[in-house]
Amino acid sequence: MKKLICIVIGLIVAQLAPLAMAQPSEPAPASQSPKLQLQLSPYSYHFSPSDDHKPVFMVGLEREHASGKLDGISFFSNSFGQECLYIYPWGGVYKNIWGVGPLSFKWTAGLLYGYKEPYENKVPFNYKGFSPGAVFALAYEFKPGWSAQVNALGNSALMLQLNMPVK
């Protein structure tokens, strides 16, 4: 677990360092500053349930930039009870889907860590617990800053998620 914490801290610093160096001398207006959201997921639905499956729980932080760019980090227990991490420096949000104001489409891509023996083959391109990751989602904002979201986890499952603003 210590290795995982060092990796997480290193990746966070690597992601934030260029932003820190590029900050303007005066703060950006509040309307242009990134929105930070806390993510919680109490449930995932598996398309092919198995006796090996355990409950999936997730907690994360996501940053949405005024440009629509997304990045973040999620800690979760995978379908087999293993502690995992998903760091995504790439992502985007597209709002007003199908003319529905509160509906948005999101995508993220990054690095997944934690699928180890005997489940290392449950995610593609896994090497010593590390693999690429991507998540596609539909979110519905029911109150300013608060939204419910459904994430597509490959061809394996759907994850229900609640997003709330961090003040």
| Other C-beta atoms lying within 10 Å of the C-beta of residue 56 | 22
Confidence label for 9 from pLDDT (cuts 50, 70 and 90): low
d(CA 76, CA 80): 11
In a domain, 144, yes or no: yes
Classify residue 26: in a domain, yes or no: no
Distance in angstroms (rounded) separating the CA atoms of residues 156 and 145: 29
Amino acid 15: pLDDT? 52
**Total tally of structural domains belonging to the chain:** 1
Euclidean distance between CA atoms 34 and 69, whole angstroms: 9
Q: Are 90 and 13 in contact (CB under 8 A)?
A: no
Per-residue pLDDT tens for 147-166? 999 999 989 999 999 999 99
**Which ranges in the chain belong to alpha helices (H)?**
2-21
Q: Rounded mean pLDDT of 8-18? A: 50
Lowest mean pLDDT among 12-16, 31-35, 78-82, 161-165: 12-16
Whether the pTM exceeds 0.75: the reply is: yes
In angstroms, the CA 85 to CA 67 distance is 26
Domain that holds residue 138: 38-165
Distances (CA, A) of 136 to 89, 105, 149: 14, 8, 10
Q: Count of CB atoms within 10 A of residue 23's CB? A: 9
Bridge partners (DSSP) listed for residue 132: 111
pLDDT at 72: 98
**CATH code of 42's domain:** 2.40.160
Q: Which pLDDT band holds residue 7 (cuts at 50, 70, 90)? A: low
Average pLDDT over residues 68-95: 97
Within-domain flag for 67: yes
User: DSSP letter at 28?
Assistant: P
- Position 32 scores a pLDDT of 79
Q: What is the pLDDT of residue 10?
A: 52
Task: Note whether residue 29 is domain-resident.
Answer: no
Percent pLDDT > 90 in the chain is 78
